[in-house]
Structure 1
Amino acid sequence: MSLSVAVLLGSVRQDRVGLRVARFLLRALEERGHRPTLVDPMASRLPLLDRMYKEHPPGEAPAVLEELATLYRGADAFLMVSAEYNHGIPPALKNLLDHFLEEYFWRPSAIACYSAGSYGGVRAAMQLRMTLAELGMPSIPSLLPFPRAAASLDEEGRPLDPAHPPRADRFLDELEWYAEALRDRRSRGVPY
């Protein structure tokens, strides 16, 4: 069953390795027959949060917020691609997330994290998991860490480490299960 998945990239650094992780996951989702869409903060150029999407009068939100709101309302799941900045969530990802709220409700999220070191960004993922739950899109139990990401994926996101594809398969199997289950429940109504 094809899913619409918004893949949120969390870095705006010039030489961001996260783009490699995102490309790897976009390709893996497409190979499974899903419809992933990359949400890149470098492309959207959202300002620092001053007013959430819902705080704009109807029809008066900036075009980029309208586009993202439409994408998010049609998404079956959200996949975060997060670096770890000083053991925390990258500011670009937090800002990207905070512009919306109701558009996330009743949809699962998943966290792929990465770092230059051996922990693969899991310290940031733990903080991100709390934020995602508060936004109404709790994360699936599994994480997909990419330690030493620059050495394990090439520029186009092709794996240089043979362990990545089978780990990603298990991770995406889990995301699919949650996304399909919640899509079915949303079709029958939500608690409020």
Structure 2
Amino acid sequence: MGLDLLVIYGSVRTDRQGIRAARFVASACEGRGHRATLIDPKEVDLPLLDRMYKEYPAGEAPSAMERLAGQIREADAFIIVSGEYNHSIPPALSNLLDHYLEEWLWRPSAIVCYSAGSFGGVRAGVQLRAMLGELGMPSIPSMLPVPRVGEAFEDDGTPRDDAWHARASRFLGELEWYAEALKQRRASGVPY
């Protein structure tokens, strides 16, 4: 039985290249029998953070925020796809993540990081790891860095090098292990 995974992409730039990596990861998840929903902050279009979802009275949050809250609550795990902006994460990603708190709890996350250069966004990935832990969705030990993201995938997410399939398989296998373990524990209750 497959998992319900959210692939959360972090950029809203006009000529963004990382969306290719997000499409690749979502497709790889589906190929493993999971339901993968790509969350694009450009499409969700949340406002700059003024009030968190939990700060709205029940039923009064903006519809886009309410819809995303439901998707987050239903997910078994999260795959965060982040570029590296000035050695950190994109502001659109931080904004999307910060709108929620309790909705993220007790599910693992996995980090796909990318850059136009050779480091593959790992500096952003390291910072993102601390943020995800604070939000209650600790990241798995492995990351999937994508150097030279504009050259790695076609627009639809098809990899230009078949080695990406093996890299993703190992990475997703690790996420599956954590997601299944935590799903089982959540069914027995959570600490608070």
Using the size of structure 1 for normalisation, the TM-score is: 0.99
CA distance in 2, matches of 1:44, 1:159: 26
CA distance in 1, matches of 2:145, 2:63: 33
Q: Determine whether 1:171 maps to 2:164.
A: no
Q: Give the aligned partner of residue 130 of structure 1.
A: 130
Gaps of at least 5 residues in structure 1 are none
Q: Give the aligned partner of residue 139 of structure 1.
A: 139
Q: CA deviation at 1:164?
A: 1.0
CA distance in 2, matches of 1:69, 1:128: 20
CA distance in 2, matches of 1:71, 1:44: 12
Aligned residues: 192
Q: Give the aligned partner of residue 191 of structure 2.
A: 191
* Mapping of residues 148-163 of structure 1, within 5 Å: 148-163=148-163
Letter in 1 for 2:53: Y
Q: Give the aligned partner of residue 50 of structure 2.
A: 50
Q: CA deviation at 1:161?
A: 2.0
- SS of structure 2 residue aligned to 1:145: strand
- SS of structure 1 residue aligned to 2:64: helix
CA distance in 2, matches of 1:168, 1:44: 26
RMSD between aligned residues: 0.6
CA distance in 2, matches of 1:26, 1:162: 16
* Mapping of residues 1-192 of structure 1, within 5 Å: 1-192=1-192
Using the size of structure 2 for normalisation, the TM-score is: 0.99
Q: CA deviation at 1:18?
A: 1.3
CA distance in 2, matches of 1:148, 1:163: 15
4+ runs deviating over 4 angstroms: none
Letter in 2 for 1:92: A
**1:44-78 superposed Cα distances (whole Å, 9 cap, x missing partner):** 11111000000000110000111011000000000
CA distance in 2, matches of 1:68, 1:162: 33
Letter in 2 for 1:136: G
- SS of structure 1 residue aligned to 2:80: strand
CA distance in 1, matches of 2:159, 2:181: 30
Q: CA deviation at 1:15?
A: 1.2
